[in-house]
Chain A
Amino acid sequence: MKRIITCTVQDRGGVLNRITGMFYKRQFNIESITVGVSEIEGLSKMTFVVEISDDQKLEQLTKQLNKQIDVIKVSDITDKAIVARELALVKVNAGNQSRAEIQGIITPFRGTVIDVSKDTLTIQVTGKSDKVDALISLLKPYGIKEISRTGVTALLRGQQSSQQVVEVNSFPV
C-alpha cells in the first residue's frame, strides 16, 4: 500500500542524506519525496510517498524516522483527511492541427499551457497524483517529449493543524 508520511526536521547540514540513507539501508522504497521550508524558521518539511507491504514495516519506518536526531515530528497522514497535491510539467508534441485538441483535453483538468514552441506545448497541471496520471495518459498519443513531476506534498485539512488550508484545484467531475 502507498503511504504518505510527513516529517518535520531540523534544517541541519546532511539531514536529507541521513534520512534518505536510512530508507535505503532499511530497504524502504521511496516513490517520491518533496522537501521545502516550513512555517517555522530553521525547520523543513519533508513529504514521502512510500510503498509499504505491511503494518509492521510501516511501524518500523515511522520509528526509524523518529529515531533520527534531526527529526522533530513524524506523521503518517495517509488515512487522515488531507489535501495532497503534486505538480507536473509535461512537454508534448503539438503541431498546428493538434493544439486545439490538446487544449480541449487539459481544460477539465485545469491544466494550463505555460510554454509554446513551433511543435510543442508545455502544460502545467496540479492535483492528486491520479489526476496527473490521468492527464498524462490522455496526452500520450500526441507524443510526450519530457515530463517533470514534483512528487506529492500534503497537509492535514482545516482544523487538524494550526495551518489554514485552502483547497485550490479539485479533481474534475
Chain B
Amino acid sequence: MKAVAKQEVQLKEELGTGADLLIKALVDAKVEKVFGYPGGAVLPIYDAMFRHEFPFEHILFRHEQGTIHAAEGYARVTGKPGVVIATSGPGATNLITGITDAMMDSLPLVIFTGQVGQSVIGTDAFQEADVMGLTTPITKYNYQVQNIADLPRIVNEAFHIATTGRPGPVLIDIPKNISAGATDGEYDNSFEVPGYQPTVNPNPMQIRKLANALSQSKKPVLLAGAGVTIADASDELTAFAEKYQLPVVNTLLGLGSFPGSHPLSLGMGGMHGTYTANMAIYEADLLINIGARFDDRLTGKISSFAPEAKVAHIDIDPAEIGKNITTEIPVVADAKRALLALLNGELNGPDNKEWLEKLEANKKEYPLWYDHSDELISPQWLIEQIHQASKGEAIVATDVGQHQMWAAQFYHFNKPHNWITSGGLGTMGFGLPAAIGAQIGRPDDTVISILGDGGVQMTIQELAVMNDLNLPVKVFIVNNEALGMVRQWQEKFHGERYSSSLLTKNPDFLKIAEGYGIRGIKVDKEKDVPAVLEDIFSYDGPVVVDCRISWKEKVFPMIAPGKGINEMIGVTR
C-alpha cells in the first residue's frame, strides 16, 4: 500500500546486520528521540546505534517504566509516536503498565523489545518471557520478527498502525539472532494491511441527520474528548461551537481541546466535573459526543446519563459507538473531517437562548469552590497560583489522585496538547516521567509536573534523567502525607477507617532532590507561595517543590460510586 520511496539516509555504516536495518528503518520513520534501557538481548541494537553515531537521540532512563511513560508524554504533546527500546524478559515486563496505559488512552507508541535467540525461544531460556502472549491484549498490534529481511517492512507498518486511525501502542519483539544476524543488504519496507482501513470521512447522510437534530434541538450540548485533540480539531470545534452557540463539556482527557476560559465552556463533566457540566448532560435534549468514549468515570450510572437526550457520537473507532451508551446518530469519522462537514453544511442553528441562560445561571450559582486552609496551603488555590505564574500556557503533567483532579479543575487549559494525565488506567508513577518526555519533545515550553507524595515515589528515580539532561521541569509534590484519593474514599465511604493510606513517614523530598543534583524547595505557607513561584519560573533548571497541604483536603464536587450524574455531592460548601 505504502511503498516509501527509498531515500538516501546518511548512515555511518553499511547495513550489515539486522540491527543496522532497524536503525535505518527508524531514521526513515523520522524518529528523533528514543527512550530506552539496554540489556543483553538488545545489545546488537545498542551497538548499532553507537556505530551509527546516534542518528536520533537515545535517552537512558532509570527504569523501563520511566521510558514508556516518557514516550507517552512525548506523544501527547508532540502528536508524534513515542519510541521505546527495552531488553527481553524483565525489561519487557517492566513495560507492561505503560503499554496498557497507552492502549487505554490511545497514545501512539512503537515499542521494541529484545527477545532470546530463535533457536531457544520456548525453552525458558535466560531472560525469556512470552512477550507476544503478554502484550497481545494490551497492544493495537504486535509482531515477532521471524526473518531479518522483514524488519524494514514491519517497522514501517508498525509506525503506520500506531499513528493512524485510533492511535495505540504497537510492539515489535526482536530475537537476538535477528538483530545480530547478517543481512543480504536488501532493504524493502513496502507493506500491505488489507484488514486495516480506518474510516476518516463521515457519511454525508449521517452528517445531515446530525444537522437536522441540531436545528430541532432546544438544549444541545457538545461533549469534547481526547479524540478532538488527537484529530487536531480544536479550531474547528471552537468555530462550530461559536457558530451555533453550543455549550461544551470536556472529558478529563479532552481538557484543552476547547478553551477552558471560553464563555461556552462548562468545564469538565463526570465524577469530579462541574455541577453545570453534569446537569447540562442530564437535561440536554441533544448530546453530541466528539471523540470521547463514554468512560464510566464520565457517565456515572448509565440510566441517569443524558436520559432526555438524543445521542450523536462522532468517533474514528466504530466499536466505541454504542458500546456504553445507546446512540441514535453514529458518525464514524475523524473528528476534524466531521466538524468541517458540519461547519460547511447548511443548517439552521438551534433555538437555545433560554438554555444558555440557564447554564450561565448555573455557572454563577454553582462554581467550583474551596476554602483556605488555616495553616497549610490549600491545594486548589495552589493550582490557581501555578496557573497564573505560568500564564496558563504551560504543559502540565500529573500523576493520579486528588492532585490530578485539582489540576484538572483549576488549571484552565486553553490550548490542546498541553495536558498530560493518565485517564483510563489511572497509573500512579506516570506523572514524573511523562513530564520528562514532554520536555524532551517540546524543549522550549514550560513543563510542570504536579504529583502526589505517594505517586512520585513510584518513579522518583527518573529525577536522574532531569539532572542528566538539565531539563527545566518544575515538579510540584502536593504533599498531604497520604494516599489522598484513597483516604478520601475511606473517609466518605468506609467510615473513616484509614486502612494503609497514611504516609506519615515520608522521606525528605528535598534531600532526595539534592541527592539527584536538583534544587529542592519546601513551602508550607500560602504567603510564601508567590515568591517561590516567581523564583522557580525564572530559574532555568529542574526544581522540586515540596508543597505541604492538609491531609484532610478533599476533591469536590463528586459523584459517589454507582450514583447518577445528577446526584453530585459537595456542590456547595
Stretch of B175-183, B193-201, B270-278, B534-542 lying at the A interface: B193-201
Q: Considering the chains assembled together, what is the distance between the CA atoms of A25 and B319 in angstroms?
A: 14
Interface string of B315-343 (1 = CB under 8 A from A): 00111001100100000000000000000
Query: Are B195 and A68 in contact, with the CB atoms below 8 A?
Result: yes
Q: Which residues of B contact A21 (CB under 8 A)?
A: 136-137
* Residue of chain B at shortest CB distance from A10: B195
Query: Are A64 and B132 in contact, with the CB atoms below 8 A?
Result: no
Q: Which residues of A contact B196 (CB under 8 A)?
A: 69
A72 interface residue per 8 A CB criterion: yes
Q: Which residues of A contact B317 (CB under 8 A)?
A: 67
Q: Considering the chains assembled together, what is the distance between the CA atoms of A49 and B340 in angstroms?
A: 42
Q: Which residues of B contact A22 (CB under 8 A)?
A: 137
- Please give the distance in Å from A49's CB to the nearest CB on chain B: 21
Which of A13, A22, A63, A68 has the most chain B CB atoms inside 10 A of its CB? A63
- Please give the distance in Å from B284's CB to the nearest CB on chain A: 22
Query: Are B136 and A14 in contact, with the CB atoms below 8 A?
Result: yes
Q: Considering the chains assembled together, what is the distance between the CA atoms of A10 and B191 in angstroms?
A: 14
- Residues of B within 8 Å of A, CB-based: how many? 20
Q: Which residues of A contact B194 (CB under 8 A)?
A: 10, 72
Q: Considering the chains assembled together, what is the distance between the CA atoms of A135 and B147 in angstroms?
A: 49
* Residue of chain A at shortest CB distance from B161: A69
A32 interface residue per 8 A CB criterion: no
Known: A13-B144, A14-B142, A21-B137. A59 touches B195 (CB 8 A): no
Query: Are A25 and B137 in contact, with the CB atoms below 8 A?
Result: yes
Q: Considering the chains assembled together, what is the distance between the CA atoms of A21 and B138 in angstroms?
A: 10
A51 interface residue per 8 A CB criterion: no
Q: Which residues of B contact A71 (CB under 8 A)?
A: 195
A86 interface residue per 8 A CB criterion: no
B141 interface residue per 8 A CB criterion: yes
Interface string of A10-28 (1 = CB under 8 A from B): 1001100110011001000
Q: Which residues of A contact B507 (CB under 8 A)?
A: none
B572 interface residue per 8 A CB criterion: no
Pick the contact of A17: B133, B146, B193 (CB < 8 A): B133
Q: Considering the chains assembled together, what is the distance between the CA atoms of A59 and B193 in angstroms?
A: 24
Q: Considering the chains assembled together, what is the distance between the CA atoms of A21 and B144 in angstroms?
A: 18
* Residue of chain B at shortest CB distance from A25: B137
Which of B146, B193, B195 has the most chain A CB atoms inside 10 A of its CB? B195
B403 interface residue per 8 A CB criterion: no
B415 interface residue per 8 A CB criterion: no
Residues of B300-319 whose CB lies within 8 A of A: 317-319
Other A-B pairs, 12, CB within 8 Å; known A60-B323, A63-B318, A67-B319: A13-B132, A14-B132, A18-B136, A21-B136, A59-B322, A67-B318, A69-B140, A69-B141, A69-B161, A69-B195, A70-B195, A72-B195
Can you list 20 A-B pairs with a CB-CB distance of less than 8 A? Answer: A9-B195, A13-B132, A13-B144, A13-B146, A14-B136, A14-B142, A17-B133, A17-B136, A21-B137, A56-B322, A63-B318, A67-B318, A67-B319, A69-B140, A69-B141, A69-B161, A69-B193, A69-B195, A69-B196, A70-B195
9 A-B pairs with least C-beta separation: A63-B319, A72-B195, A69-B141, A69-B196, A67-B319, A71-B195, A21-B137, A18-B136, A63-B318
